[in-house]
């Protein structure tokens, strides 16, 4: 029963856009809860040791203060998450600078913040591990990451005629979504409601339930709108637990928002990575060996390793490769997933090294990549479900004007600016996760409306809209007749907006529910149709004015037989001022093969967002830790610079038409992560083409070029 309504893929504006621009969309702290109190977190000022005393007397007497919560009087909670659960006031141990040591609850935010200053904490310092350069000497292989080995890397590399042996570094980065992490906690007996921005509604529900010894259904998460997350809102950090704890202690609703300054040591970060690349090739330009070894830090309380070498295992046809990892324990807040985790940082090193090899061989870097295109995924010997890398490279080269590039550096100028061109490829896996959808249909005569309900999340990427598009086209209804309800744990469970699984998981589940409803309605009548009936006709034939059905969808069984990824090519034209060393991305081109594009407008927006983030990664973003104390000296947007409009040149986005028959029923591949992969490398390679200076240590700041 095909539909004549074609809206999937169209550039439709967000259906929640009006709510957002008029301020009617409720984010985490916007809900009008009566009798609410405000909480403020106090942070440790040492990186390792114990609290010997905490004097709260002055704070307790401060105006408006309702409660002061420390490890001495905190509600007992269960350790719920080894990554995010450090600092829930259960003991006096300090594991990193900025760990939570107290929570103030007052009538107003200002009163809570003012009272926090009067708390006096005494510590017994312990030897801390806060200097990356010293800690890496003690790095060991992570317990959960074995080396990925293919062929005989050492023999092939040692015997090779052409080699690149270089080390690349990426710094600590922070997520910094526009909406800081926040929660409003409301208890009704043993039932807890949390208004909290989250990328994974069910994950936060389960984490909070575990912490307080509740059943998941006793915890209600409400999060219809999320002001960005980029991985940092994938689970319940301690601020969520502390909000619930504070509300329980004072027996009234509590709001707790993490300040921008405290975002640096409250909700994770991207760890610092040092990547050693060894690349070998024949004189004809065929790769013969590839080694990718990453050394990074993790926290002293948990092991997390960003998979920087994952692309080295599958992006190119290399018979001999070895990918390995080492981690060093440090007294720092737990590293976590950040947009394109592993692929974004790893692509900087890999694609820079590939560019260096192409230059050494005097080959065009686009042609060099195409020459080493793999026929299948060599990391697991599975065929590609589809792969558009070559098409992306060719299309991007045409769009950027690659023919204007000179092979030798410093050959293109525009006034005081040296002009350079760079390219990099990228990839990110495509997956569908189990997701359930409840579809409700209502009919009045020939008029049918649909309500699509699932506990999905929209982190600003347009999930509301593509869900509505899927339902509208599958049911044959106008978009205006489809209502979307998401971001509520009371709805059927859904995948999260993480790992680029959202669109594939949500839309396939919604399509299944809509198709199932039509099939079930048809089964309720014996009427035969000369042409495919409308939903209204089916409901009329079954004498129904209301109908609902639920689907529990998952990936097709055959999907696991294939290696499924979105692929891209990034091209940058940079202008480097020869006098100041300032780098400007004059133009950037991103071409992506990502299966079926659900909405041309929101997809383009996502890729642009990834490119902007990649520009920041390449040129400006760096969280700097003082190795003496373990605290971050970058504490706001004044010193942690995220690219603004004037930092971003023209960004051109294109998609390669791609029908993937195997990745999932609708052929959807995620694009939220792949948009950043390869961007920093393309810029770095362009800087080399402009200046002749190879910067292997991000960000590329003027001092590294002068």
CA distances from 274 to 133, 277, 625, 652 (A): 10, 10, 16, 31
Tokens of 404: 């204007």
Under 8 Å CB-to-CB from 189, ≥6 apart: which residues?
A: none
Task: Tell me: pLDDT of 485 over 70.
Answer: yes
Task: Tell me: pLDDT of 267 over 70.
Answer: yes
- What is the arithmetic mean of pLDDT over 378-386? 98
- What is the arithmetic mean of pLDDT over 440-459? 97
**% residues pLDDT > 70 (the chain):** 99
Under 8 Å CB-to-CB from 502, ≥6 apart: which residues?
A: 456, 457, 461, 463, 495, 496, 670, 672
> pLDDT, tens digit, for every residue of 503-526?
999 999 999 999 999 999 999 998
Cis-peptide, bond into residue 699, ω within 30° of zero? yes
**Per-residue pLDDT at 5:** 79
Tokens of 374: 């793999």
**b (16+ CB within 10 A) / e for 186-219:** bbeeeebbbbbbbbbbbbbbbbbbbbbebebebb
- What is the arithmetic mean of pLDDT over 541-563? 97
- What is the arithmetic mean of pLDDT over 267-285? 98
- What is the arithmetic mean of pLDDT over 40-68? 98
**CA angle, corner 43, sides to 41 and 44, nearest 5?**
155
SS3 assignment, position 599: strand
Task: Tell me: pLDDT of 1 over 60.
Answer: no
> pLDDT, tens digit, for every residue of 419-449?
999 999 999 999 999 999 999 999 999 999 9
Under 8 Å CB-to-CB from 30, ≥6 apart: which residues?
A: none
**Per-residue pLDDT at 146:** 85
**Per-residue pLDDT at 2:** 45
> pLDDT, tens digit, for every residue of 93-119?
999 999 999 999 999 999 999 999 999
* Residues 405/651, Cβ–Cβ less than 8 Å: no
What sign for the dihedral angle of Cα 325, 331, 334, 335? negative
This model's pTM is above 0.85: yes
CA distances from 552 to 116, 460, 517, 575 (A): 48, 25, 13, 52
Task: Tell me: pLDDT of 275 over 60.
Answer: yes
Residue listed under structure tokens 């038409």: 657
**Per-residue pLDDT at 3:** 52
Angle of helix 343-360 relative to helix 679-691, nearest 10 degrees, comes to 30
User: What are the start-end ranges of the H helices in 171-317?
Assistant: 201-212, 238-250
Task: Tell me: pLDDT of 584 over 90.
Answer: yes
At 145, is the pLDDT very low, low, confident or very high (cuts 50, 70, 90)?
confident
**pLDDT averaged over the chain?**
97
- What is the arithmetic mean of pLDDT over 370-374? 98
- What is the arithmetic mean of pLDDT over 126-152? 94
Q: How far apart are CA 429 and CA 498, in angstroms?
A: 12
Q: What is the separation of C-alpha 173 from the centre of its chain, rounded to a whole number of angstroms?
A: 13
Tell me the domains of the chain and their CATH numbers.
Answer: 17-25+432-554 (3.30.365.10), 37-127+176-265 (3.30.365.10), 273-431+560-704 (3.30.365.10)
Q: Of 503, 494, 539, give the one whose Cα is nearest residue 520.
A: 539
What is the β-pairing status of strands 219-222 and 162-170? unpaired
Phi first, then psi, for residue 289 (nearest 5°) are -155, 145
- Secondary structure of 377-391 in the HEC alphabet? ECCCCECEEECCHHH
At 675, is the pLDDT very low, low, confident or very high (cuts 50, 70, 90)?
very high
Enclosing H/E stretch for 345: helix 343-360
Among residues 351, 356, 622, 673, the one annotated as catalytic is: 673
391 is a catalytic site residue: no
**Per-residue pLDDT at 200:** 98
Q: How far apart are CA 706 and CA 704, in angstroms?
A: 6
Q: How far apart are CA 352 and CA 356, in angstroms?
A: 6
Burial of 31 (0-12, 13-18, 19+ CB in 10 A): middle
């Amino acid at each position: 029963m095909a539909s004549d309504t074609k809206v999937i893929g169209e550039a439709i504006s967000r259906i929640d856009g009006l709510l957002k621009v008029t301020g009617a969309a409720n984010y985490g702290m916007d809900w009008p809860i009566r009798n609410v109190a405000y909480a403020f977190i106090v942070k440790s000022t040492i990186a390792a040791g114990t609290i010997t005393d905490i004097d709260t007397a002055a704070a307790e007497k401060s105006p408006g203060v309702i409660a002061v919560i420390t490890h001495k009087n905190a509600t007992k909670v269960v350790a719920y998450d080894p990554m995010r659960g450090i600092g829930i006031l259960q003991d006096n141990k300090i594991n990193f600078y900025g760990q939570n040591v107290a929570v103030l609850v007052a009538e107003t935010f200002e009163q809570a913040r003012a009272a926090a200053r009067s708390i006096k904490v005494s510590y017994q310092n312990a030897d801390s591990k806060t200097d990356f350069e010293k800690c890496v000497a003690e790095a060991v292989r992570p317990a959960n990451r074995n080396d990925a080995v293919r062929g005989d890397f050492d023999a092939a590399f040692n015997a090779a005629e052409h080699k690149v042996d270089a080390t690349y570094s990426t710094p600590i980065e922070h997520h910094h979504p526009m909406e800081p992490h926040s929660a409003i906690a409301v208890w009704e007996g043993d039932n807890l409601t949390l208004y909290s921005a989250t990328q994974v509604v069910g994950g936060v529900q389960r984490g909070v339930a575990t912490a307080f010894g509740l059943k998941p259904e006793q915890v209600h998460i409400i999060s219809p709108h999320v002001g960005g997350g980029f991985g940092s809102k994938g689970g319940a950090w301690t601020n969520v637990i502390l909000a619930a704890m504070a509300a329980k202690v004072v027996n009234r609703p509590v709001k707790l928002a993490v300040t921008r300054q405290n975002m640096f040591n409250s909700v994770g970060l991207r760890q610092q990575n040092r990547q050693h690349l060894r690349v070998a090739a024949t004189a004809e330009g065929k790769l013969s060996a590839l080694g990718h070894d990453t050394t990074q830090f993790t926290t002293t309380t948990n092991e997390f390793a960003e998979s920087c070498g994952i692309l080295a295992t599958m992006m190119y046809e290399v018979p001999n490769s070895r990918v390995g990892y080492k981690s060093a324990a440090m007294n720092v807040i737990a590293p976590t997933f950040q947009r394109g985790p592993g692929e974004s940082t790893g692509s900087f090193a890999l694609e820079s090294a590939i560019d260096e090899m192409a230059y050494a061989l005097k080959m065009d870097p686009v042609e060099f990549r195409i020459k080493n295109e793999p026929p299948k995924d060599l990391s697991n010997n599975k065929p590609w479900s589809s792969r558009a890398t070559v098409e992306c490279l060719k299309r991007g080269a045409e769009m950027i004007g690659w023919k204007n590039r000179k092979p030798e550096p410093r050959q293109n100028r525009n006034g005081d600016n040296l002009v350079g061109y760079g390219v990099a490829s990228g990839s990110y896996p495509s997956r569908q996760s189990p997701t359930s959808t409840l579809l409700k249909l209502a009919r009045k005569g020939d008029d049918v409306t649909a309500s699509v309900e699932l506990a999905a999340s929209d982190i600003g990427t347009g999930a509301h809209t593509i869900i509505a598009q899927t339902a509208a086209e599958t049911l044959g209804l106008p978009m205006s007749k489809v209502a979307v309800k998401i971001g509520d744990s009371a709805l059927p469970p859904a995948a999260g907006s993480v790992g680029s699984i959202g669109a594939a998981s949500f839309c396939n589940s919604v399509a299944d529910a809509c198709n199932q409803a039509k099939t079930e309605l048809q089964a309720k009548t014996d009427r035969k149709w000369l042409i495919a009936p409308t939903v209204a006709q089916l409901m009329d034939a079954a004498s129904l004015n209301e109908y609902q059905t639920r689907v529990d969808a998952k990936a097709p069984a055959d999907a696991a037989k294939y290696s499924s990824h979105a692929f891209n090519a990034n091209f940058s034209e940079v202008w480097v001022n020869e006098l100041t060393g300032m780098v400007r991305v004059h133009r950037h081109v991103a071409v992506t093969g990502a299966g079926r594009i659900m909405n041309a407008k929101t997809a383009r927006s996502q890729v642009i967002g990834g490119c902007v983030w990649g520009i920041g990664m390449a040129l400006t973003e760096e969280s700097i830790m003082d190795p003496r104390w373990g605290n971050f000296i970058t504490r706001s947007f004044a010193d942690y610079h995220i690219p603004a409009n004037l930092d971003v040149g023209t960004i051109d986005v294109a998609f390669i038409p791609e029908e993937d028959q195997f990745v999932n029923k609708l052929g959807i591949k995620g694009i939220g992560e792949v948009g950043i992969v390869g961007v920093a490398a393309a810029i770095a390679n362009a800087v080399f083409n402009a200046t002749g200076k190879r910067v292997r240590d991000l960000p590329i700041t003027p001092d590294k070029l002068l």
